[in-house]
Structure 1
Amino acid sequence: MNYSHAQLHEQVTTIGLGAVKSIKDINPDILFQYKIFPKHIMTFLTQWQEEDREMQPGDTIIQQVYIPPINSVSLKLIFGVRIQSIIHEAARIGFSYETLEGHAERGISTFTIEQTGEEKLIFKIHTFSKPGNIFGKLLAPVFSLPYQAYCTREALKNVQRQLYIA
Structure 2
Amino acid sequence: MHYEKDRLVEKISSIEIPTERTLEEINLDPFFDYRIFPDHILTGYPQWRDEGRTMKANDTILQQVYLPPFPKFSPKALFGVRIKDLIREENRCGFSYETLQGHVECGISYFILEEGKGKIIFKIRTFSKPGNFLTALLGPVFSAPYQTYCTKKALRNVKRILETNLSAP
TM-score, normalising length: structure 2: 0.94
2:57 aligned residue: 57
1:22 aligned residue: 22
1:114 aligned residue: 114
Q: CA deviation at 1:24?
A: 1.6
- Calculate the aligned-residue CA RMSD, in Å: 1.1
Deviations 1:17-39 (A, max 9, x none): 11223222211112211100001
Deviations 1:88-121 (A, max 9, x none): 11111110000000000000001011112x2221
Runs in 1 of length 4+ with deviation above 2 angstroms?
none
2:127 aligned residue: 128
Separation (CA, whole Å) in 1 of partners of 2:85 and 2:31: 13
- Count residues in correspondence: 165
Moved more, 23-32 or 123-132: 23-32
Separation (CA, whole Å) in 2 of partners of 1:30 and 1:124: 16
Deviations 1:23-73 (A, max 9, x none): 222111122111000010011211001000111000000000000000000
Gaps of 5+ in 1: none
Separation (CA, whole Å) in 2 of partners of 1:150 and 1:69: 10
Gaps of 5+ in 2: none
1:95 matched to 2:95? The reply is: yes
Deviations 1:105-154 (A, max 9, x none): 000001011112x2221111011001100100010110000000000000
2:146 aligned residue: 147
Separation (CA, whole Å) in 2 of partners of 1:99 and 1:62: 10
1:71 aligned residue: 71
Separation (CA, whole Å) in 2 of partners of 1:146 and 1:131: 13
Separation (CA, whole Å) in 2 of partners of 1:93 and 1:5: 21
**Secondary structure, in 3 states, of the residue corresponding to 1:13?**
strand
Separation (CA, whole Å) in 2 of partners of 1:113 and 1:154: 16
- The aligned amino acid for 1:140 is G
Identity over aligned pairs, percent: 52
- The aligned amino acid for 1:35 is R
Separation (CA, whole Å) in 2 of partners of 1:28 and 1:123: 12
**Secondary structure, in 3 states, of the residue corresponding to 1:54?**
coil
**Secondary structure, in 3 states, of the residue corresponding to 2:122?**
strand
Q: CA deviation at 1:155?
A: 0.2
1:161 aligned residue: 160
